[in-house]
A and B are shown apart, each in its own frame.
Chain A
Amino acid sequence: MKKILIKSGWALAAFVILMSACSKFEEINKSPKEADASQVQVEYFINNSIIGAQMDPNIAERSFVLYWKTASRQHLSGGLSSGNPNDDWSTEYYRYSSGWLNNINTAIQIADEKIRTGDIKPYTENLKQVARIWRAYLMSELSDNFGPIPINAFASQNPDFAGVKEVYYFMLDELKDASAKLNTTIQPTEGLKLLDPAYGYNFAKWKKYANSMRLRLAMRLSEVDGGKAKAEFEDAVAGDLITDTDATFQVQEKGGWDPLSGVMSREWNAQILSTTLENIYTGLGGVKTADQLGAAFQSYIRPADWAGLQLKDHFSSMTNDPLAGFWFDGLPQTIDPRAYKAFIPAGDFTNPNFSKYPSYDQPTWETTARDLVNEAGATVKTLDGKFTWNGSNAGDWGAKGTKNRWYGFPGASPRLGQQFRNSANKRIFFHAWETNFLIAEAAVRGWTVPLSGKAAYEKAISQSFEYWGVSGFLSAYLTSTDFSITGTSVSWDHTAEPPATHTMNFKDGYTGTAGTVAIKYPVNNLYKNGSVKNDLLTKIITQKYIAQVPWLPLEGWNDKRRLGLPFFENPMIEQTLVTLPALNSTNYMTSNVNFFPQRLKYPSSLKNTNAKGYDQAVAALTGGGDAVLTPLWWAKKP
């Protein structure tokens, strides 16, 4: 008995001692699946940042397609174009963008750390400069959406927000300094090249990108800080630039569901031609449809003075679109040759770029004829969209929209070509044409640039034509003095203003009665109070806008906010839009800063996560606070 007790006692005591032994705890609590600071490399973070910014379908659909393409009117879409952003989308974009910025800032921090400790490779210093250049782009993207953003950030504490001016000054300084510090004689190793999906660490190209980015950002200040804009621009334009297609900043897309999936690949996004683009393309450059399209299309071509079918009960006229209320029952006489490449008319099934999306719903892309009905649901007219050229405008269409089954139906309208949707293209971030358009604009402003305005303008257009494979039309196009529906022509030397109106023929869509109508060239009050439609700047921005479709919608929105160019029609207001309260039945024929979105509201979570930063941001957003209609510092003001 005694023995048992003593033995048990000792056994238990031993158990106790065993238990308090915690010697292995440190080892146990080190995750075997994570890397420490000594195991990570600068290029891993740069690669992650650039790849991430290509946007997986979750964020690409929300930001690239539903925000930027909508705000820049590259397709038919309500929401932001009607002043109505979505908090969830904004939250996601802010989170994703911060993730890309986080990675690139970590790259810079790790590079600094490695340089400090001497743990370097020949290219370490250059990687840091690359990271700074890419960070400048990412910051500009974020700031152009929201406005004030943090400058000193990603330092493990909630950052302070800085005003847009400070942010731009910072980015311009960074680009200048990083560009200067890049050593272009260093050659990347084969292994390193793989970790830069844009340039494969061709440092000379990174230098060009830095300088061209500086042109873009400097020009952004043209309306509010002209002196700074000029100085920065002139300094940057003297350096190496992305002037030819070889140095285009672009990243190859890939299939699957990941950041390299095509940004416009979601099959249910119809990406129908917008009224804005229809008005800009149609008639511009004088190139005949007959020369652009094959035999099957010829019978659909309409005369140059044809307005189409007037269908007042089914098409709202509550907008300043010059052809509101009309439906175009064919193809225009002349049109910008890039139009039919970008947007494929309904029913053109044999065109390899015709988008057979949604692939799971054949009737949706195959059905071209749609009904207009009356209140009782009975068909009053069938509109066959096959080989017709109609853009669509969002807004509130009221009952007219409900009775109009053509409106918004993918199969019956021109839609974005499949080559941009199949995840096999290259997403362009900066193309040579943009450099040349920027130089052309600078020339018009009288800044010192290496090319004449005309030369830069025509070079840019030629690079765009090359991209679209329509160079055969270039010479005729460049000399064309034809006015588009917006009243702008191509020829640099042709700056005569169009008349106030032009007479067009039409037919009443219901009765077939023919008539004529004086169609106005739209008055764009945002630019020179609506008095000018065909000056050099309008031409440049019009061409730049067309060239940037569909890869750089954010730049399209930026130019619109900065200059008021090109002309955007107001959304329909059969009922006033809750989100654009200033736009009403008395003023819808005018253009106004309050009639289109100026920025995104910050995600609602920011107030909670960084109250101080949010307050700083709101304070920096003078003239309206954290609202979608508050213009950014560099933008046109009401």
Chain B
Amino acid sequence: MLLTCLVAMCYQSASAQEKIGVSGSLKDASGAPVIYATVIEKGTTNGATTDEKGAFKLQVNPGATLVVSSIGYTTLEVAAKPTLNLVLEDASKGLNEVVVTALGISRQKKSLGYSMQEVKSSTLVDAHETNITNALTGVVAGLQVMRSSTGPGGSSKINLRGNTSLTGKNQPLIVVDGIPIDNFVGATNNDGWNPGMDMGNGLSDLNANDIASMSVLKGPAAAALYGSRAGDGVILITTKTGKKSNGLGLTVSSSLGFESIFMKPEMQKSFAQGLDNIFAPQGGDSWGPKITGQSLANWDNKTEPVRAYDNIDRFFNTGINHNQNISFQQQVEKTSVYTSLNYMNDKSMVPGTKYTRLNLTTRVTSKYGQSEKLSTDFKVQYSNTNAHNRLATGINSRNYSSLLYTMPVSMDVRQFENPVNEYGNMRWYIIGNQVNPYWASKYNMNDDIRNRFIMNGSVKYQFNDWLNAELKAGGDIYNTNTEAKLYAGSPTPANGSYSNDKYSFSEVNYSALVTARKDRLIDRLGGNISVGGNLMRQQSSRVGNSAGELVVPNLFLIKNAKGNPGITDEFSQQRINSLYATGGLSWDGYLFLDATMRNDWSSTLSPENRSFFYPSVSLSYLFTEQFKSMPQWLSYGKIRGSYAMVGNSLPPYQLYNTYLIDRDPNGNTTAARKKTLYDKDVRSELIKSFELGAELRFLENRFGLDVTYYKSNATRQLIELPMDPGSGYENRKMNAGNIQNSGFEIMADAKILDNPKKLLWSISGNLSMNRNLIVDINKKDGINRYPLGGFDNLSIVAATGELYGEIYGSKVQRVMDEKSPYYGQWLLDGEGRPVRGEQNVRLGNQQSKALVGITNSFAYKNFGLSFLIDARIGGDMFSATQLLMQRNGTAAITAPGGERDGMVVSGVVSDGAGGYVPNTKTITQQQYWKAISADNLGISELNMYDASNIRLRNVQLTYNLSRKFLGRTPVQSAKIGVACNNVWMISSHMRGLDPESVFAINTNAVGFENGAPPTTRTFLVNLSVSF
């Protein structure tokens, strides 16, 4: 009905009298199109608005004068001519940034009542990260990137303004050219012993070179139009379209990177394998004798000199990464073409691990007819990723690091480089279920191949200068094939194992959008309205087979399974239908009021709850535009505010309790309940948020400041509350909880030196502080704690009244008697060793207090230099790696100064009569560290670390070959550069461990580290030539 009215309305306004035609384009001083500028025939109400390309057309009386105006520019008056190419001067420079907002609508940034940040193509490309997600580190306020530790092709997780969900992935929706794509992340299970493989995150399949810009819509107001899937924000990616080029339009770029270890835990180098200072050639500890050049019989009964080895350095190689990109772009008549090919090959520093990615993209945009009213835009992005021998997390034979950190200091891992003995069995020094890492790298293999298509096509019709309609369809379709082969010869299973798995995913979206816009509706009142709808169809299936143990060794065939093969057969589908509208009113170019509304119908909820509505409203006020008499030093000022509601739907098949049918090993039928108890009455989640902000620019734009305060409450969360398995279920699905995120984001930039003839220096920085508070979990049912993760006695929880991600663990036993003079001191055992005391007490919180990123850019003649320093302030982390290294005697701290002197632990012991006396007993380093690390995770308070760190994240140096130099060649431009990531850890507190090593990327318990591989540094050389 609304649409019909709109259509009727357009008809009425579409009749104008025939005069002479004027068409033209409008650009700013930098050559960028000025959009939505008003072009009016002076003295009349006849006018037009420039489109997204800055073009306009109108009919005027002969001899008319055109008044061209746009906010932020000096108004221009020109005589009408059939063709006009106009340039508007900035009234106050740099304020006319056009950004892509929800539904792909281009808007002037100044008119937005919410915070959003755009990331330029160059930022993404120049970072030269294998995973494009990592290029966002430190450049967007309020955005935190968490990297996995699973080698090349591993996931990185994005967090915008804190966690809104207890169970969800807390990942923003990724939209590429208007089409949402699947941003899966991490492994599907994080079992400590047998975790799934981390197949990368959805975003990592994209080629950074194809991206024209990335808009980060942080708050719900910005994202509200995406409705139920945008509870954690949206990242809008716009890919490149062909642009006219003077040359061939061909750009070739190439980079070569070298990957090496950036940080690794500090290890002692002075004590050999053994215990009690005695050499034990088949033991796993490094509590043996001091290394003094002696010779001893090793595990193989060969006498050899005892020395220390750095097994981390010895095991890992130098990784080599190269990336070749060819892109072609050209505009021919009314058709522009962009096409590119990218090949990336990462031969990781991890022996045997390799990752390649091929991307092919073509995008064609065309305009049809004289009037150019009809336009089309078609794009296909194909990617093929191929990973061989990915690392796994946890204590597992596919995570070599954990083993290397703890293996005896005097044991050279390289002696096992030939991992097989004459009987075809694995060689290793210790009895047990450990796996020689070289053996694993050759005989415990996994491969995954993902073929992915991201496509979209749209047809747009521009009815007139203020009305257009667009129909769009697009899809994200991929298949991942996985295969895992474990050869015979290792501890288990004796004859090897085999599994394969095929996962198919497709999501198709169809949408329509009608947009009307007039800058001068009545007097100075402007208005716009867009109305549209979307149909989302998502489907996935998985078919997998596994042979847990093979009969014939090394015959990788499912039929060769000992017992029944395991079969996975899964299917899932869901649909969401949506209707949405956005409308805005503006007054005189300084006051903008926007409202959006969206209604979703989700197939995954019950008929009563399936329809849900999300509104948002936002206001932007440019006070410097209203009051022209502002002080000279204030060039631009805007305040903004917004309020929005969005939320999340439910995954499919989570309403009704059904049963799982399976087969037992004899091939007979079994049945079981599912693990989660469903409630058909659950509703969609609801996130309410508001934000306030201000944007100020000073001294003719040289300095800028953007400040945002926001607060959001995620309520009615769809959580799976753990239950006592004695209930029949391990979890129960319910609506509960209220998680509050509030915080500040500050962005600032400064052009410190801006003389284009001399040295240019600019700084941009961002600071964000988020407070992630659990207001409630489910008080009314007495549930105030929700486990996010952890292991054994170390748990990471959300608890009512506390911050998200509280870390709970054990403390040293202390004197608890407040009257005792020794109150609070360590109460040691009879031998003078620390003992575990209170358990399940708060030790810290995993959330950072602030994130800071500062980029400095310099340019001098043809040289460019930029570097990014980022800091994470606050937040704690428990390190199981440090604990294991202390237990095994490999940690540097177990041999302070290279010695292992006896120690008297400061504390008291019982006097046997209910009182205490100071401890006087001397114990060995071994006794101390074994005592504090006893029993799985030891006394956990002693391995809590401040995860704050400051690092020089990257440095980029580029040189553009001068025009003069290139003059006679077909080369249009050429650029060479060197770059380095993870350059320098300026400050950190984890005894050599990088706080970015995270155990389980797809859980929300990131304050727990366990055997993560060393983080890496990449040094790159790159070359880019355009023809």
Contacts and interface: CB of A to CB of B under 8 A. Distances in A.
Interface stretch (B171-179, B477-485, B575-583, B637-645): B575-583
Contacts of B548: 256-258
Interface stretch (B23-31, B234-242, B828-836, B954-962): B828-836
Given A12-B512, A48-B670, A102 B728 contact: yes
A361 B669 contact: no
B415 interface: no
A91 B912 CA distance: 36
A377 B935 contact: no
B668 interface: yes
A26 B607 contact: yes
Interface centre among B461, B548, B727 (most CB of A within 10 A): B727
Given A16-B533, A402-B274, A405-B280, A576 B491 contact: no
A189 interface: no
A576 B830 contact: yes
B7 interface: yes
B765 to A, nearest CB: 41
A604 B278 contact: no
B727 A578 contact: no
B793 interface: yes
A99 B792 CA distance: 20
Interface centre among A21, A24, A101, A361 (most CB of B within 10 A): A361
Nearest to B722: A609
Given A16-B579, A87-B936, A106-B673, A399 B278 contact: yes
B463 interface: yes
Nearest to B652: A29
B728 A155 contact: yes
Interface residues of A, number: 110
B661 A88 contact: no
A550 interface: no
A254 interface: yes
Interface string A564-601: 00000000000110110100100000000000000000
A183 B785 CA distance: 49
Contact of B571 (A29, A32, A94, A156): A32
B563 A258 contact: yes
B178 to A, nearest CB: 16
Contacts of A19: 533-535, 577-579, 601
Given A258-B564, A398-B276, A606 B724 contact: yes
A587 to B, nearest CB: 13
A270 B6 CA distance: 81
Contacts of A149: 726
A26 B7 CA distance: 34
Contact of A362 (B425, B433, B795): B425
B569 interface: yes
A521 B831 CA distance: 31
Interface in A1-28: 1-2, 4-6, 8-10, 12-13, 15-16, 18-22, 24-26, 28
Nearest to A608: B785
Interface in B121-156: none
Interface in A54-88: 58, 84, 86-88
A255 to B, nearest CB: 4
B665 A94 contact: no
Nearest to A27: B603
Contacts of B276: 398-399, 402-403
Interface stretch (A37-45, A292-300, A446-454): A37-45
A31 B659 contact: no
A33 B665 contact: no
Contact of A36 (B274, B658, B831): B658
A184 interface: no
Interface stretch (A118-126, A259-267, A526-534): A259-267
B823 interface: no
B604 A29 contact: yes
A428 interface: no
A260 B661 contact: no
Nearest to A37: B659
A255 B425 contact: no
Contacts of B282: 405, 409
Given A15-B512, A604-B795, A8 B11 contact: no
Nearest to B424: A360
A502 B753 CA distance: 98
Nearest to B296: A377
Contacts of B840: 604, 607
Contact of B3 (A13, A86, A256, A410): A13
A98 interface: yes
Nearest to B575: A28
Interface residues of B, number: 117
B574 A29 contact: yes
Contacts of A409: 282, 431
A601 to B, nearest CB: 10
Interface string B547-561: 011000000000001
B728 A106 contact: yes
B724 A610 contact: yes
Contact of A267 (B8, B492, B656): B492
A610 B670 CA distance: 28
Contact of A47 (B563, B664, B934): B664
B665 A267 contact: no
B4 interface: yes
B571 A611 contact: no
A149 B724 CA distance: 11
A358 B668 CA distance: 32
A156 B726 CA distance: 9
Contact of B659 (A36, A155, A255, A259): A36
A254 B278 contact: no
Interface in B35-65: none
Contact of A40 (B423, B661, B839): B661
Contacts of A86: 792, 935-936
A102 B564 contact: no
B660 interface: yes
Interface centre among A6, A8, A51, A256 (most CB of B within 10 A): A256
Contact of A94 (B277, B283, B677, B725): B725
A290 interface: no
Contacts of A401: 275
Interface in A324-378: 358-362, 364, 373, 375-377
A93 to B, nearest CB: 11
A25 B610 contact: yes
Nearest to A57: B492
A608 B279 CA distance: 45
Interface string A421-463: 0000000000000000000000000000000000000000000
A8 B7 contact: yes
B92 interface: no
Contacts of B604: 29
B897 interface: no
Contacts of B549: 255-257
Interface in A254-311: 254-261, 266-268, 270
B665 A256 contact: yes
Contacts of A88: 192, 791-792, 936
Given A87-B792, A106-B673, A402-B276, A5 B425 contact: no
A376 B278 CA distance: 6
A48 B610 contact: no
Nearest to B272: A377
29 contacts: A8-B461, A8-B469, A10-B4, A16-B579, A19-B535, A19-B601, A24-B603, A25-B601, A25-B602, A34-B661, A40-B671, A44-B670, A51-B665, A105-B728, A106-B728, A153-B727, A156-B677, A255-B562, A256-B665, A268-B432, A360-B425, A360-B489, A360-B491, A361-B491, A399-B276, A578-B836, A578-B934, A608-B797, A609-B723
Please list the 10 inter-chain residue pairs (A to B) with the smallest Cβ-Cβ separation, ordered nearest first: A256-B563, A9-B7, A98-B725, A257-B548, A610-B724, A48-B670, A44-B671, A34-B658, A154-B728, A377-B279
Given A34-B658, A157-B723, 4 more contacts: A28-B573, A34-B653, A86-B936, A604-B795
